Amino acid sequence: MQQELKAKSNSTPQIGSDNNTVRRIILISYLFLVIIACLGALLRILPFSSFSISYNNLIHAHSHGAFLGWLFLANFAITGYLIQYKLSTKVIVCLAADVLLLLLTVPLFVKYGYNYITIILSTLHVILSTFLALQLIKQIGFKNLRSFNGYKSYLVLAWICLIISGIFPLILGIIVKSFGNASPAYYNTIYTYLHFQYNGFFVSSILAIIHFYLGSVNDMKLKIAYHLFALSVPLTLTNSYLWCAPGFWFNVISTVACVMQLTACMFLLNIKSLLQSLENRIPFSLNWVIYGLILKSIMQFVVSFPYVAVASYSNRYLILFYLHFVLLGIISITIIKMTASILNITNIFYYRIAINVLKLVFLITQALMAYKAAEMEGLFHYSNLTLPFLAIISILFPLILVTVLIVSLIEKPKVS
C-alpha cells in the first residue's frame, strides 16, 4: 500500500498548457475571496459605524460572493486540475459569462438586496453552474457515484450536490408567495440549499482532495466510509429542519445520519497514517482537516437532540460559530492551501506568513463568537468589548487575503 502511495506522489499533475486556464480561474476566485472578506469585516464594523448600508443586503452579498464566487470557482479549478480537464470553448465561454454575472451580482446585492435584477442574475448563475457541473460529471464518469473509485466518486457526489442545491433558490419565489417569507417552509428552503452546499458540495470536495493523494489504494474501509458519507448527505438534511420541531422521527433520522457521517470521518483517522508518507506532498494539514470534520459531525450529532436543536437555532452567534467553523476553518483554509499548491506559491515567505496569521485570526474570532454565544445563554458575564474587538480583528482578514492574492499574481507558474 505504501508503494501505491509513493507511485501516486510521483504522478501529481503539474501546471502547464490547459492548466494555465485553471490558474486564471483560481486568481479570479481569490479576488472574490478578498471581496467577501471585506464585506465580512464591514458586517462586523457596521453596528459601530454611521454607514447607511443595509445589514441584510450585506449578508446576501457576503454569502453569494462566498458560495457562487469564491468556492464555486475555486472548486471548479481544483476539479479541473485533478482530472486534467481540457476546457472546451463553450465551457470557457460559460465560465467567462458566469464570472461577469458574479461581478455584477455582488455589488447589486449590496445596493438592492433581493430584487428582480439580483434574482435574475442568481438564476442565470444556477443555469450556468449546472451546465458546468454536468460537463465535469460527464468527464469524470457518473458511474463513479455508485461504484467507489477514490477521489472521482467524491467529485461526482460534490457536483451532484451542487446541482441539487441550485433547485431551491429557484423555487424560493413560489415558497414566499405560497407561505410567506417568515414561514418554516421559507427558512427550510434556504436551509436545504445551505445543507447541500455545506455538507454536500464543500465537504465532498475536501474529501475528494484527500482521496486524490491516496490514489488507487484498495482499502475496504475507504469504500465503507464513502457509502456511509454519501448516504448521510441526504439524511442529515433532517438536522437542518429541527429548529421548528417537526417531529420525533426527524430527530431519530438526524441522529442516525450524524452517527453515519461521524463514522465515515473516523475512518479518515485510519488512513491518516498512510498519508504520513506523503505529508510533504499534501499542501494542507491533515490533522486540521480530519479533526475539523470530526468536530463538525459531533456538533451536528449534539444538535440532533430536541432541546439542543431548538436552543441552538435561537442563538445567533452559535449559528455563526458553526457556519464560520465549517466554511472558513475547514473548507476555505484547505481550499486556499490546495489552490496555492496548484499555483506553486506554498514555499513563498509572504504566503506562509499570511496563511499562519489567517489561522490565528480565525481561531481568535471563533473564540470571541463562542464567548458571545455563551453570553447569550447566560453562561458568561456580559461584556461590551466582545463585539468591538471582534470587529477590529476581522479587519485583518481582507489584509491577509490581499497578501495571498498579490503573491499569486506576482509568482510565475511552472510549465511542465
391-407 pLDDT, tens digit per residue, is 999 999 999 989 888 88
Only one residue has cell 476539479, namely 79
Rounded (10°) CA dihedral 184, 186, 191, 192: 110
**CA 46 to CA 50: how far, in whole Å?**
7
Q: Is residue 395 part of a domain?
A: yes
Q: Is residue 312 part of a domain?
A: yes
Please answer whether residues 65 and 101 qualify as being in contact, where contact means their C-beta atoms are separated by less than 8 angstroms.
no
Please answer whether residues 367 and 238 qualify as being in contact, where contact means their C-beta atoms are separated by less than 8 angstroms.
no
* pLDDT of 416 over the 50 cut: no
Please answer whether residues 331 and 206 qualify as being in contact, where contact means their C-beta atoms are separated by less than 8 angstroms.
yes
**CA 393 to CA 37: how far, in whole Å?**
12
When pLDDT is cut at 50, 70 and 90, the band that residue 115 belongs to is confident
- 142-171: buried (b, 16+ CB within 10 Å) or exposed (e) per residue? eebbeebbbbbbbbbbbbbbbbbbbebbee
Lookup: cell for 76: 471548479
Model confidence pLDDT, tens digit, residues 293-319: 999 999 999 999 888 887 788 888 999
Q: Tell me the average pLDDT across 326-343.
A: 92
Please answer whether residues 276 and 251 qualify as being in contact, where contact means their C-beta atoms are separated by less than 8 angstroms.
no
Write 187-191 long-range contacts (CB < 8 A, 24+): 187/243, 187/244, 188/240, 188/241, 188/244, 191/240, 191/241, 191/243
How confident is the model at residue 203, as a pLDDT? Answer: 95
Q: Is residue 346 part of a domain?
A: yes
- Mean pLDDT over the full length of the chain: 87
How confident is the model at residue 244, as a pLDDT? Answer: 87
Contacts of 293 (CB under 8 A, 6+ apart): 203, 206, 265, 268, 330
Please answer whether residues 201 and 79 qualify as being in contact, where contact means their C-beta atoms are separated by less than 8 angstroms.
no
Q: Is residue 298 part of a domain?
A: yes
Instruction: Look at the chain and report how many structural domains it folds into.
Output: 1
Range of the domain at 12: 2-410
Model confidence pLDDT, tens digit, residues 86-96: 888 999 999 99
Q: Tell me the average pLDDT across 196-224.
A: 87
**CA 21 to CA 85: how far, in whole Å?**
10
Neighbours of 20 (CB within 10 A): 11
Lookup: cell for 192: 436545504
How confident is the model at residue 415, as a pLDDT? Answer: 35
Contacts of 219 (CB under 8 A, 6+ apart): 1, 271
Model confidence pLDDT, tens digit, residues 155-192: 999 999 999 999 998 888 888 888 888 888 999 999 99
**CA 382 to CA 157: how far, in whole Å?**
44
Contacts of 89 (CB under 8 A, 6+ apart): none
How far out from the chain centre does Cα 385 lie? 30
Please answer whether residues 186 and 180 qualify as being in contact, where contact means their C-beta atoms are separated by less than 8 angstroms.
yes
Q: Is residue 360 part of a domain?
A: yes
* pLDDT of 1 over the 50 cut: no
Please answer whether residues 65 and 106 qualify as being in contact, where contact means their C-beta atoms are separated by less than 8 angstroms.
yes
**CA 341 to CA 133: how far, in whole Å?**
23
Q: What are phi and psi of 125, to 5 degrees?
A: -65, -45
When pLDDT is cut at 50, 70 and 90, the band that residue 2 belongs to is very low
**CA 166 to CA 385: how far, in whole Å?**
40
* pLDDT of 267 over the 90 cut: no
Sign of the CA dihedral 104, 59, 393, 347? negative
Selection from 322, 314, 327, 255 nearest residue 295 by Cα = 322
When pLDDT is cut at 50, 70 and 90, the band that residue 273 belongs to is low
Residue, of 284 and 202, whose pLDDT is higher: 202
Q: Is residue 416 part of a domain?
A: no
* pLDDT of 288 over the 90 cut: no
* pLDDT of 11 over the 60 cut: no
Residue, of 50 and 112, whose pLDDT is higher: 112
Only one residue has cell 465580512, namely 40
How confident is the model at residue 278, as a pLDDT? Answer: 60
Selection from 339, 387, 355 nearest residue 73 by Cα = 339
**CA 23 to CA 30: how far, in whole Å?**
11
Selection from 302, 307, 317 nearest residue 373 by Cα = 317
Q: Tell me the average pLDDT across 115-136.
A: 92
Task: Output the domain CATH number for residue 78.
Answer: 1.20.210.10
- What is the maximal distance between C-alpha atoms in the chain? 62
Rounded (10°) CA dihedral 177, 182, 184, 190: 80
How confident is the model at residue 113, as a pLDDT? Answer: 85
Q: Is residue 123 part of a domain?
A: yes
How confident is the model at residue 106, as a pLDDT? Answer: 93
How far out from the chain centre does Cα 361 lie? 18
Q: Tell me the average pLDDT across 16-32.
A: 82
Model confidence pLDDT, tens digit, residues 127-144: 999 999 999 999 999 999
Alpha helices of 149-214 — where are they, by DSSP H? 151-165, 167-179, 184-195, 203-214
Model confidence pLDDT, tens digit, residues 212-256: 887 766 678 888 999 999 999 999 999 999 988 888 899 999 999
Q: Is residue 77 part of a domain?
A: yes
